[in-house]
Amino acid sequence: MGHEGVGFKSGSTRSGLPTTRSRVPRGRQIQKTFNNVKITVLCGFVTLLVLRGTIGVGNLTGSTLESEDQRVVEDIDRILREIRTDSEPEPQDPLSSLYFVNSTAHNWTYAEAVEAVNYSLGPKISDWDQQRQVWLSQNPNFPNQLLGKHRILLVTGSPPNPCDNAIGDHYLLKSTKNKIDYCRLHGIEIVYNMAHLDKELAGYWAKLPLIRKLMLSHPEIEWIWWMDSDAFFTDMAFELPLEKYKNHNLIIHGYPDLLFEQHSWIALNTGSFLFRNCQWSLDLLDAWAPMGPKGIVRELAGKILTANLKGRPAFEADDQSALIYLLTSQQDKWMSKVYVENSYYLHGFWAGLVDKYEEMIEQNHPGLGDERWPFVTHFVGCKPCGSYGDYPVERCLNSMERAFNFGDNQVLRLYGFAHKGLVSPKIKRVQDQTSDPLQVKEKLDMAARITM
Amino acid sequence: MNISSHKTWQRCNYSLFAGAKLVILCFLILTVTFLCTTYFTTSYSNLVQIVSKSNHLPIQQDKVVEGVGALPTVPQIKVVEGVKAKEESHFRSLNDSTYTLGPKINNWDLNRAKWLRHNPGFPNFFSGPKPRVLLVTGSSPKPCANPVGDHYQVKAIKNKIDYCRIHGIDIFYNNALLDAEMAGFWAKLPLLRTLLLSHPEVEFIWWMDSDAFFTDMAFEPPWDRYEPYNLVFHGWDHLVYKDKNWVGLNTGSFFLRNCQWSLDLLDAWAPMGPDGPIRDEAGKLLTGFLKGRPVFEADDQSAMVYLLVTQEDTWSDKVYFENSYCLHGFWESLVDRYEEMLEKNHPGLGDDRWPLVTHFVGCKPCGNFSEFPVERCLSKIDRAFNFADNQVLQMYGFAHKSLNTSSVKRVRNESVGPASAPDEVSIVLYPSVNDRN
């Protein structure tokens, strides 16, 4: 730097030049040198201070609070790790010992693998309809109808451990509240499952043993309604048209042309469907389960499904593809009792719906259940609980918040409130308090238009 | 010529040196300014932390913003609703009009009875003495500050779903702050009033904190015992009226009947609640008046004790202090005895042999500031949850491998038919349907 150069030539600010110039007294020169050095040192000190402040700890008053927070955060991290390691070890593939013993690996076929594993959901039951009738007649306190409506049990669940992504648990909570609200309004009971009942049928297959178990344990229940944890009710007024399903045992959202003509792997959606509590359903579950056991069976089944279903990527067998394959390959046996529903969104794929909520509020009203006011908005592919979704995380979370608030508005309306916007958790009063609340209650209509 | 050039040179040299000094000086000023700015902004955020710490409220980072569109590049640190920065003066002051929950209602009993007569499909009593009960609970609409907090909220609500399904009770899970003035523990008051007025068919509201877990799935509260009363707390008469103890009763789990008396009580209870100077001043009053109360702003529990003591003649005849079973069970003395309970006792007792409710007071799994070590709290909550879950899973032939793990094992072979008569240990877990018909 310039001034250093000047300083170094200490006292010689005027030296190095023709000697015609008079010399400055040495003492004065030394003093000037000292001044320069002092300034340099001072600036250096300030620079160090600034650097320490920006990249070091720096702040004096904040240090104690921060270290306390740091301790709490470390505690929580450690606890999270402990909780996660508490989870079950991966179920051992029952065939793995056979598979790897020989150096020349035997090429299992799917049929061989299924036979070797010999999985079953439980002891074979052949007379469930009669058993159930007998039980119902012996237990008149537990009828299968309430106020003229068949009893429905909504079944949902989530893994017993915290989500990999903390925000995932928050949306599980909101999704549960959403289901509690719909079911309270429609007299439906809820079972929230957090237990791995069957190690072999883990993951998306876990619903099969659960549904069977609940059917057999609750003969008073007429319909078991499985609903994924990432599906939200967005039409609080819509009632399932059960009379349409008098002669059917499986109600599932899908498209017949995609199913029968194209054999598409997304022709049906197993995120929201109803099973009647009867022998037929037990038989279907038994026929559905074989592709599920984790390990070699699921892998080989996955290859078969990818080969036979249109558009299916290569991965292990999932329950949805397996059901589609089962129903299309054994059409005559099963399809007469399956109702492929698409007149309303028993399952509504979120991407095409979430941006239209404001438009729906403006033009339509609750109770329709279809694309004008979707019954269920299902966040397929978002996986907020896990680490890897198929869509950008922020878009998913933003959209889930909107769907939740869209549904919540229809509940809050009954109490005179609404969300300030579809993305805001804050609410505002939309109806003044009155000293005659029952008069207001008389006029409440769940299917009335909503004003934001 | 030489002299002048020398002088010029001298001037140049001098000005070079002075210029250098000027540069140094500017640099110095800039760095000092920068230092000061960083110091003051960080100390503001510390202030925010201190304020919300004392209010037992977590700071949330807003991940979701209003309006559809791009998210802000800098996450904004917002204080939870209700705790405004001290610079704002939106707080109700002691000189303003008294806070009210809503317009005064005077003829609720009459109007409600009329409504019930006109709506026979929504009776307030099922056959026998069993009233229609609405369990009310809830939590903040924003994600917990603690990353595992929401997971425990999910477990808590599952636990309540199970109990309520078995006992034919409806649940209202509240996620909304109905009145910004009554934030925090006071939020239940406007909620209770709203629900009482909107659900005339409900006979009792059962308020339950989100950190309270059902641990006796078989126990049914003795409703006929409460026929002459409108408000049932877990607590002790003498601790409240004689001792004026601030924990003489617990507002974490209580029954409130749907009637005019309850509306009046809520109105009398509310005035200490509004956030700001009123809550602070009331807190001081309560600390001075009640035994054992630490110094902090007014809370609903202390205010209730104060109300009952100072207006004993008005309210006490309709308030029942239940201590024959754990309508609220303080967790510390219960959670380590579950194995002993399993060995010696059975579900259905509801008292400290098999508590109805295990309440994790002070744990605050959602926030960052717990009165107890975080690890102890969370591991004990897991135990309480598993203890209760076992009573449900048993019906399906499963149980947790131990109270400390989420893994389950089969405890009964698969049957080929529906469950027949319940054995001694399992309980009839089917909803009492005839009552709901």
CB contact under 8 A, B66 and A421: yes
Residues of chain A contacting residue B161, judged by C-beta atoms under 8 Å apart: 176, 180, 190-192
Nearest to B157 among A123, A176, A181 (CB): A176
CB contact under 8 A, B155 and A412: no
- What angle is formed at CA B420 by the lines to CA B391 and CA A199, rounded to 5 degrees? 50
Nearest to A170 among B21, B150, B165 (CB): B150
Nearest to A161 among B42, B178, B406 (CB): B406
CB contact under 8 A, B198 and A426: no
**CA-CA distance, A152 to A150, in Å (whole number)?**
6
Q: Picking from A99-113, A205-219, A438-452, which range would have the lowest pLDDT averaged per residue?
A: A99-113
Contacts by B276-280, CB closer than 8 A, 24 or more apart: B276/B91, B276/B92, B276/B93, B277/B91, B277/B92, B277/B93, B277/B94, B278/B91, B278/B92, B278/B93, B278/B94, B278/B99, B279/B186
How, if at all, do strands B133-138 and B204-208 pair? parallel
Q: Does B72 touch chain A (CB under 8 A)?
A: no
* pLDDT mean across residues, chain A: 86
Q: What are the φ and ψ backbone dihedral angles of B228, each rounded to 5 degrees?
A: -85, 0
pLDDT digits over A197-247, tens only? 998 998 889 999 999 999 999 999 999 999 999 999 999 999 999 999 999
Q: Decide: B400 and A188 in contact? Cβ < 8 Å.
A: no
Residue B341 is predicted with a pLDDT of 97
pLDDT digits over A415-429, tens only? 999 999 999 999 999
Residues belonging to chain A: 452
Nearest-CA distance from B325 to chain A in Å? 27
Is the model's pLDDT at A27 over the cut of 70? yes
Q: What are the φ and ψ backbone dihedral angles of A269, each rounded to 5 degrees?
A: -125, 120
Q: Is the ipTM of this complex over 0.85?
A: no
Nearest to A435 among B103, B200, B396 (CB): B103
Residues of chain B contacting residue A219, judged by C-beta atoms under 8 Å apart: 418
Residue B140 is predicted with a pLDDT of 92
Residues 44-83 of A with CB under 8 A from B: 46-47, 49-50, 53-54, 58-59, 61-62, 65, 69, 72, 75-76, 78-80, 83
**CA-CA distance, A282 to A198, in Å (whole number)?**
17
Is the model's pLDDT at A272 over the cut of 60? yes
pLDDT digits over A48-83, tens only? 877 676 655 444 444 455 565 666 666 666 766 666
CB contact under 8 A, A425 and B141: yes
CB contact under 8 A, A441 and B148: no
Count how many pairs of residues, chain A against chain B, have C-beta atoms within 8 Å: 260
Nearest to B31 among A47, A167, A169 (CB): A47
Residues of chain A contacting residue B38, judged by C-beta atoms under 8 Å apart: 53-54, 58-59
Residue A37 is predicted with a pLDDT of 81
Residues 107-166 of A with CB under 8 A from B: 122-123, 125, 131-132, 135, 140-143, 146-147, 158, 160-163, 166
Nearest to A123 among B115, B369, B414 (CB): B414
Q: Does B31 touch chain A (CB under 8 A)?
A: yes
Nearest-CA distance from B17 to chain A in Å? 7
Q: Does B7 touch chain A (CB under 8 A)?
A: no
Within a 10 A sphere around the Cβ of A429, how many other Cβ atoms? 13
Residues of chain B contacting residue A54, judged by C-beta atoms under 8 Å apart: 38
Residues belonging to chain B: 437
- The residues, any chain, with a CB within 8 Å of residue A220's CB and separated by 6 or more, are A136, A139, A142, A143, A144, A151, B430, B433
Q: Is A402 exposed, middle or buried (0-12, 13-18, 19+ CB in 10 A)?
A: buried
Produce one character per residue of A309-328: b if its CB has 16 or more CB atoms within 10 Å, e if not: beebeeebbbbbbbbbbbbb
Please state whether A135 falls in left (phi above 0), alpha (psi between -120 and 50) or beta.
alpha
Is the model's pLDDT at A268 over the cut of 90? yes
Longest alpha-carbon distance in chain B: 125
Residue A360 is predicted with a pLDDT of 97
Which residue intervals of A56-147 are DSSP H helices?
62-85, 96-101, 110-117, 128-138
Q: Picking from A11-15, A187-191, B244-248, which range would have the lowest pLDDT averaged per residue?
A: A11-15
First-last CA distance in chain B: 119
**CA-CA distance, B363 to A247, in Å (whole number)?**
52
pLDDT digits over A357-390, tens only? 999 999 999 999 999 999 999 999 999 998 778 9
pTM recorded for the entire structure: 0.81
Q: What chain B residue is nearest to A412 in terms of C-alpha separation?
A: B176
Residues of chain A contacting residue B61, judged by C-beta atoms under 8 Å apart: none
SS3 call for A108: coil
**CA-CA distance, B231 to B244, in Å (whole number)?**
18
User: At residue A317, what is the residue type?
Assistant: A
Residue A9 is predicted with a pLDDT of 40
Please state whether A289 falls in left (phi above 0), alpha (psi between -120 and 50) or beta.
alpha
Q: Decide: A354 and A230 in contact? Cβ < 8 Å.
A: no
The pLDDT profile of chain B, 437 residues, written as one tens digit per residue, is 454 555 555 555 556 666 677 777 777 788 777 767 665 554 444 433 333 333 333 333 333 323 333 333 332 222 333 333 344 457 888 888 889 999 999 999 999 999 999 999 999 998 778 999 999 999 999 999 999 999 999 999 999 999 999 999 999 999 999 999 999 999 999 999 999 999 999 999 999 999 999 999 999 999 999 999 999 999 999 999 999 999 999 999 999 999 999 999 999 999 999 999 999 999 999 999 999 999 999 999 999 999 999 999 999 999 999 999 999 999 999 999 999 999 999 999 999 999 999 999 999 889 877 788 888 999 999 999 999 999 999 999 999 999 999 999 999 887 666 654 343 333 344 444 334 43
Q: Does A219 touch chain B (CB under 8 A)?
A: yes
Residues of chain B contacting residue A59, judged by C-beta atoms under 8 Å apart: 38-39, 42-43
Token pair listed for B234: 């877990």
Interface mutation vs chain A, best among B8, B99, B175, B264, most A CBs within 10 Å: B175
Q: Does B39 touch chain A (CB under 8 A)?
A: yes
Q: Taking residues A155-174, what's their average pLDDT?
A: 95
Is the model's pLDDT at A287 over the cut of 50? yes
Q: Does B271 touch chain A (CB under 8 A)?
A: no
Cα–Cα distance list, B422 to A40, A127, A338, B347, B418 (Å): 89, 22, 35, 13, 11
Nearest-CA distance from A293 to chain B in Å? 18
Q: Does B175 touch chain A (CB under 8 A)?
A: yes
Q: Decide: B337 and B190 in contact? Cβ < 8 Å.
A: no
**CA-CA distance, A195 to A206, in Å (whole number)?**
9
Token pair listed for B77: 């640190």
CB contact under 8 A, A13 and B121: no
pLDDT digits over B278-310, tens only? 999 999 999 999 999 999 999 999 999 999 999
